[in-house]
């Protein structure tokens, strides 16, 4: 998978060399809302492309993380883009339910300004219900 850009630079894709993790932004394909930022290794990236289901690399768990595997809040991937330097990925997704493990649609539910921090969104679901074992 490569192309020739107008400047003649070869663009193979994101740079996963030496086991690097690449930041991946998930954006709601309809509303444009930025939902979350997570990380991908090459395996997660390839699986995302192959399945059209957002798959990340969980740094805390040290393994692939198929978004929604526990919560059911999956992301169907409509389009994958990557940036000029190959060190960031943008996914345009259809998000089922809240993207955030705290039950908000977007993980970016806190605004900061000179007054301090304000919660600017409503919770969609109670986190204790999202992760309750059956």
Positions touching a copy of itself (CB under 8 A) are: 1-3, 5-7, 11-13, 23, 25, 27, 31-34, 36-37, 49, 79-85, 87-88, 90, 100-102, 104, 107-114, 116-120, 123, 127
Question: How far lies 3's CA from each of 9, 84, 126, in Å?
Answer: 8, 13, 45
Closest approach of Cβ 44 to a copy of itself, in Å? 14
**Residue whose CB is less far from a copy of itself, 31 or 131:** 31
For strand 63-66 and strand 116-119, is the pairing parallel, antiparallel, or unpaired? Answer: unpaired
d(CA 94, CA 129): 22
d(CA 75, CA 34): 13
Closest approach of Cβ 36 to a copy of itself, in Å? 7
Closest approach of Cβ 19 to a copy of itself, in Å? 18
**Residue whose CB is less far from a copy of itself, 1 or 133:** 1
């Amino acid at each position: 998978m490569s192309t020739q850009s107008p400047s003649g630079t070869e663009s193979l894709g994101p740079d996963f060399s030496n086991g690097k993790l690449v930041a991946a932004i998930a954006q709601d394909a309809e509303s444009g809302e930025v939902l979350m930022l997570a990380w991908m290794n090459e395996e997660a990236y390839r699986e995302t492309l192959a399945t059209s289901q957002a798959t990340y690399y969980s740094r805390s768990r040290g393994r692939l993380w198929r978004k929604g595997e526990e919560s059911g809040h999956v992301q169907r991937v409509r389009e994958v883009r990557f940036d000029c330097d190959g060190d960031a990925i943008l996914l345009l997704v259809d998000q089922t339910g809240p993207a955030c493990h705290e039950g908000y649609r977007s993980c970016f539910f806190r605004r900061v300004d000179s007054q301090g921090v304000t919660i600017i969104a409503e919770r969609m679901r109670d986190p204790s219900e999202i992760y309750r074992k059956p």
